[in-house]
Amino acid sequence: MESIGALSKKLSDYLDPKKVKQVNKAYDFACEAHSGQYRSSGDPYVTHPIAVASILGNFRMDEDSLSAAMLHDVMEDSGIPKSVIEKKFNKQVADLVDGVSKLNTLSISSKTESQAENLQKMVLAMSKDIRVIVVKLADRLHNMRTLLYLDRDKQLRIAKETLEIYAPIAHRIGMNNLYRELEDLAFKTIYPTRYERLTAAVKKNRGGQKRILKKIQKEMSDRLLNEGIASLVEGREKHIYSIYRKMKERQRSFEEIMDVYAIKIIVDNAENCYRTLGHIHNLYKPVRGRFKDYIAIPKSNGYQSIHTGVIALQGIPVEIQIKTQEMNDMAENGIASHWLYKSGDKSDTSPQIKARRWVAGLLEMRENYETTEEFIDSVKTDIFPDEIYVFTPQGEVIEMSGGSTAIDFAYAVHTDIGHHCKACRINKKLAPLSAPLESGQTVEILRDKIPQTSPAWLNFATTPKARHSIRNYLGNLKSSEARKFGKKLLEQSLENLNIKLKNIDKDKLRGALDSIGGRSLNRILKEIGLGIRVANIVAQQIAGFVNLDKEFDSDTTTVPLEITGSEGLVVNYARCCRPIPGDSVMGHFSAERGLVVHQDRCKNILSFRKNPEQCFPVNWGESSGKFFTAQIKIVANDEPGLLANLASSITESKTNISSIQTTDLNSGLHEFVLDLEVSDRLHLSKIIKRIKTLKSVVSVTRIHDQEERQAKVLH
């Protein structure tokens, strides 16, 4: 167990006193925050942050990362807000602590194995600064080292999560030392017997290999020395879990896996890597197909090395890696190795550092940085800027594009869930369907028995799947409604001619449809319902074709169409005059909107009234329970609580106020324009009468058209 004194001494090797002081300050803060808290081992809780900071100290991480390591649990365990950390330290430390805290709140252990890659991406996506991941991995490493103090169920859960999520992330960002230890510790926890047997077998095998391996290493080292290349030649250990994984995946015996010797050669520069390759191939016969040049073309996680395979003494196959010390450090410690090269020296003579940041798909990027500050700025970016990863309530991870909303999520899970969606919960709290989602959230969709798909959803649906599904559903819905409505219109028009549609001979009807260019009756009905064809004209065409013995009077009185408000998308109510049941109304056909219903007095319908192809008389049928919007204007004396009294009076009338606008008339009077949801004229009349009983009210009038609304604006 490392003390803060020992840690400070270690950090002093590469940090200046002011930076070490910041880390010590973070330690003092953590001591106070975790006072009275203990780990499962019985040690004071603060021993954990010290251990995490010490792991980061081995990578020579910067002072903000080390401070964040000290403080990484204070928000979650001690309830200290981010603002306090920012005030006591700085914004970078606060952001790092906040990032680690968010990762700590993820419940990702019960998810399926097939979801592991998305979970890894989600963890990376939530870490806007790559140092958050480095701190989190150090935290996880210390937790794995002290796992024995937890009960078996927790051990298995944490070890499985480490194997599926955190070890691959460490590998992904090139921190291979940490990756290997995490895998071995997890393997030891999940399969203790297999781990012990493999460890014993490796130890025994290593003893048998030792003599021949030393001889091969000496031959290589002597050859390179003779050629003037300074080198370090050493055996490369396979870690236990990688041996187990290869045995399992390749279905090979332990002996087959261990038969291949592995050697690493470290030289001083990239040019000597290639020279070394030539000398080794001269010394031993190379194996066809085993040569890989990862120096010229690095691996996606920044790894660089030359790989080759040779047949050495006694026909033994040997795998060889040739790299520089810097490449080796990058291979062992990944992005963290950057700090190994920074010793506070920011002069122009300091070594150029090849640092890499990894993005979705891990596009290769090799950049040079003169200072640590430049490097930090470069890694403080969204790793997956265009992707988010959210949970279903069952723990499945759904990958979505950035900016996706809850309605996009509903359709991403299943099209039917989208159609039946009525509300959502984000992290167990009710939220609007238009709410943009963030990585790590759990989203639950609340559904209705009947579809709820609304055209309004297109205003905030962002994914192609959601938008296509909504449009497709509404198109089909509108087609279905249009056919029903078109049938109603055609039957009514035929009845005006004393003809019943159901009594027309099928063959004659088919001929009539062909003559008017209709491929099917359903197609004609749909076009009538959508306003593309006029029911009166189609009725006359059908009647004329079937040769019914009747003279058609062009002045035949058209029986008004009955509407109830339940016709759906093919009947629309004009916003210019806002008709409600009880109003005298007239309809006109629009190819875009179907039948549009206006008040009979509305000026906007005057141009259509004399054209029977465009205009249609309409009557109100029995109420369907639908509410319509009516607009009223109230003028009242300005008194305390006026608006509250108005609202109370209206809501007592079982009415909802959908919008309200107020204007000060500068004479002690206030004008209110309210949109009310009413069932009919009688309902509206009762509301107006009730409002008029209020003492402060001077007048109440219904606004019928656009001019009245504009007159209100001109006050």
Alpha helices in 72-231 (DSSP H): 74-78, 82-88, 91-104, 116-126, 130-145, 152-161, 167-172, 176-190, 192-226
Distance, CA of 319 to CA of 316 (rounded, Å): 10
Q: Which of 72, 71, 68, 126 is nearest to 92 (CA)?
A: 68
Q: Which of 76, 219, 293, 680 is catalytic?
A: 76
Alpha helices in 530-608 (DSSP H): 535-545
Q: Is 645 helix (H, G, I), strand (E, B) or coil?
A: helix
Q: How many CB atoms lie within 10 A of CB 204?
A: 11
The tokens for 388 are 């988010």
How far is 356 from 333, CA to CA, in rounded Å? 12
Judging by beta carbons within 10 Å of its beta carbon (0-12, 13-18, 19+), is residue 498 exposed, middle or buried?
exposed
Question: What's the rounded Cα separation, in Å, for the pair 527 and 314?
Answer: 87
> 212-239 burial by CB neighbour count: b if 16+ within 10 A, else e?
ebeebbebbbebbeeeebebebeeeeeb
Give the residue from 78, 77, 54, 75 showing the smallest Cα distance to 66: 54
Angle between helix axes 116-126 and 130-145 (nearest 10 degrees) is: 120
Q: Of the listed 2, 43, 77, 671, which one is catalytic?
A: 77
Contact 319, 280 (CB under 8 A): no
Q: Which two tokens stand for residue 395?
A: 């723990």
For every residue of 469-537, DSSP letters joined together read: HHHHHHHHHHHHHHHHHHHHHHHHHHHHTT--GGGS-HHHHHHHHHHTT-S-HHHHHHHHHTTSS-HHH
Query: Pick from 330, 337, 412, 409: which is nearest to 372 by CA?
Result: 337
Best CA proximity match to 596, nearest among 501, 485, 679, 676 = 485
What whole-number distance in Å separates Cα of residue 76 and Cα of residue 84?
A: 14
Active site (annotated) includes residue 77: yes
Task: Check residue 310 and give left, alpha or beta (phi > 0: left; psi -120 to 50: alpha).
Answer: beta
- Cα of first residue to Cα of last residue in the chain, in angstroms, is 79
Q: What's the CA gap between 140 and 48, in Å, rounded? A: 11
* Element spanning 454, H or E: none
Q: Which of 62, 63, 14, 17 is nearest to 345 (CA)?
A: 14
- Distance in angstroms (rounded) separating the CA atoms of residues 457 and 616: 32
Sheet with 697-703, strands from edge to edge, namely 656-664, 669-678, 628-637, 697-703
For residue 584, give the H/E element and its range: none
CA distance 596 to 589: 6
Dihedrals phi, psi of 545, to nearest 5 degrees: -70, -40
Note if 76 is an active site residue: yes
Find the angle CA(672)-CA(678)-CA(680) to the nearest 5 degrees. 120
Catalytic residues: 76-77
